[in-house]
């Protein structure tokens, strides 16, 4: 099951929008949080943007459809087209595919109105199934 899931995630990542092949990420993000869903899901979390060796605290939340389950996650992401740290803020539209049964992987590519693209891989624990368009808002943590 885990091998099939990893194959699915790799296939989805290959099909998601990406930066040019020779592009290096402008920044990275590390997140932790949780999610709960029964048809419509809600995700929350906190993390850090790592940009030119500096850390910027972030808060995330979002909604998705066709979600079922309860899970927690840790995620890492590559960030592209980031000109300054504040460009990371805003609402992102995303395509997410993944499954979790005890521990699983979710792959997401998303972009905000400023053209910042995030390609994220999340490790989830709990029980969840996600096959739906999703959105997420990133804001500065206080």
Residue recorded with tokens 């592009």: 23
Confidence (pLDDT) at 40: 66
For the stretch 6-38, pLDDT in tens is 554 555 555 545 554 457 999 999 998 887 766
Which one, of 44, 34, 37, 40, lies nearest residue 124 by Cα? 34
With 90 as the cut, is the pLDDT of residue 126 above it?
no
Give 27-38 as a DSSP string: EEEEEEEEEEEE
Domains of the chain and any CATH numbers = 2-18+25-140 (2.40.128)
Which one, of 110, 111, 112, lies nearest residue 90 by Cα? 112
- Under the banding of pLDDT at 50, 70 and 90, the label for residue 101 is very low
Q: Is the dihedral of CA 3, 93, 125, 33 positive or negative?
A: positive
With 80 as the cut, is the pLDDT of residue 109 above it?
yes
Whole-angstrom distance, CA of residue 92 vs CA of residue 36: 19
**pTM of the full predicted structure?**
0.74
């Amino acid at each position: 099951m885990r091998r099939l899931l990893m194959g699915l995630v790799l296939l989805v990542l290959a099909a998601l929008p990406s930066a040019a092949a020779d592009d290096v990420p402008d920044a990275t993000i590390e997140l932790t949080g949780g999610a709960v869903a029964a048809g419509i899901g809600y995700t929350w979390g906190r993390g850090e943007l790592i940009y030119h060796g500096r850390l910027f605290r972030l808060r995330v939340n979002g909604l998705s459809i066709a979600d079922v389950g309860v899970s927690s996650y840790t995620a890492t992401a590559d960030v592209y087209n980031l000109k300054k740290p504040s460009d990371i803020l805003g609402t992102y539209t995303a395509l997410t595919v993944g499954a979790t049964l005890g521990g699983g992987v979710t792959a997401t590519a998303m972009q905000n109105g400023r053209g910042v693209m995030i390609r994220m891989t999340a490790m989830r624990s709990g029980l969840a199934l996600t096959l739906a368009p999703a959105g997420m808002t990133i804001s500065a943590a206080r």
